[in-house]
Amino acid sequence: MIGREMIEAFLTAPETANAREIEHANQNRILYLPVNDPQVIMNADTPQGYASLESKTG
Amino acid sequence: MGRDKALLPWPKDAGATSAGGTILSFAIKSLSPYCDFVMVVAGKNEDALRPVVYGCGASLIRNPMPEHGQFSSLQTGLWEVLNRGRDSAMVTLVDRPAPHAETLDELVKAFWTRSYGIWAIIPEYQGIMGIPS
């Protein structure tokens, strides 16, 4: 979840930037919340990633 | 993968049937209770996503320059957030199944009780950060 300040940080970043760079530049303004939910780090961007979703979420 | 990742069946064991859905439909339905509205930013896949997006009650936003990459889609969506008079957002990827409801509850609570100077809440699982890392 992002607030107004973070939205503005993303919107004022140059076209060549990426979300990771903006996040890292503002790490002291971000709360990293530990959760017991592996789905927050999963993705299906590759066939292997999609396949792994099944094995990890049952 | 030969098909749009947002339209892959989810939950996988249900298949893309009336009993199941897709990663995208699952995400829209999961996030809707926590948001005033859900917007999906599409690029060249707009036509493929449209039935699912509208069928689930979300809005479809077209990134006019998808060739500029994923970050341009994020910016397109965030401009729309501001244009609609909102100043906060939940952001996720279309190729990522939505978190469990309990996780969303935790995120929302942490966001609305955050300290001054905290601009964002990012979940992490076993030390691994969620998006955008």
For A33-44, the pLDDT digits (tens) are 999 999 898 877
In this predicted structure, the answer to whether residue A29 has a pLDDT above a threshold of 90 is yes
Give the pLDDT confidence of A2-21 residue by residue, as tens digits: 999 999 999 999 878 999 99
pLDDT of A33 reads: 97
- This prediction's pTM: 0.88
Instruction: List the single best residue of B104, B125, B126, B128 to mutate versus A (max A Cβ within 10 A).
Output: B125
Distances from the Cα of A35 to the Cαs of A12, B11, B29, B59, in angstroms? 30, 21, 21, 29
Q: Are residues B10 and B73 in the same domain?
A: yes
In chain B, how many domains are there?
2
pLDDT of B48 reads: 93
pLDDT of B15 reads: 52
Q: Contact B100/A37, CB-based, under 8 Å?
A: yes
User: Which amino acid is it at B94?
Assistant: V
Q: Are residues B73 and B125 in the same domain?
A: no
Q: Are residues B49 and B68 in the same domain?
A: yes
Candidates A2, A36, A47; nearest CB to B119: A2
What is the residue range of B50's domain? 5-95
Distance from CA of B93 to the nearest CA of A (A): 8
Q: Contact B133/A23, CB-based, under 8 Å?
A: yes
- B110 pLDDT band, cuts 50/70/90, is very high
Candidates B68, B75, B122; nearest CB to A30: B122
Closest CA to B14 of B30, B1, B3, B25: B25
